[in-house]
């Protein structure tokens, strides 16, 4: 279960990543962030972001045109 949820629906690249970065910066290590996006480009972008920053991408699923990412701040 996420500690916080970021709804980036309707936003296009690079806004979902920028808002994810900002939200994670305010969170403590070990906390969980759910990110909801409608931008298909977010799939690769979020994965690359997590790889570059060391945050853990716990899951990435698509439901009815929405992409839901669960990220653990590390």
What are the strands, taking DSSP E only, across 1-74? 4-8, 32-37, 56-63, 66-72
13 is catalytic: yes
- Tell me yes or no: is domain 4-64 CATH 3.30.110.40: yes
- Alpha-carbon distance of 41 to 15, in angstroms, equals 11
Domain ranges of the chain: 4-64
Q: Give the orientation angle of helix 15-25 with respect to helix 42-53, to 10 degrees.
A: 40
pLDDT in tens, the chain (74 residues): 899 999 999 999 899 999 999 999 999 999 999 999 999 999 999 999 999 999 999 999 999 999 999 999 99
> Cα dihedral sign for 19, 73, 56, 74?
positive
The pLDDT score that the predictor gives to residue 1 is 86
User: Which of 2, 11, 13, 15 is labelled catalytic?
Assistant: 13
The pLDDT score that the predictor gives to residue 71 is 98
């Amino acid at each position: 279960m996420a500690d916080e949820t970021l709804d980036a629906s309707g936003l296009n690249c690079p806004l979902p990543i920028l808002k994810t970065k900002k939200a994670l910066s305010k969170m403590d290590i070990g906390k969980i962030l759910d990110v909801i996006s409608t931008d298909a480009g977010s799939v690769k972008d979020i994965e690359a972001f997590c790889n570059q920053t060391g945050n853990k991408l716990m899951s990435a699923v698509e439901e009815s045109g929405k992409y839901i990412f669960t990220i653990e701040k590390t």
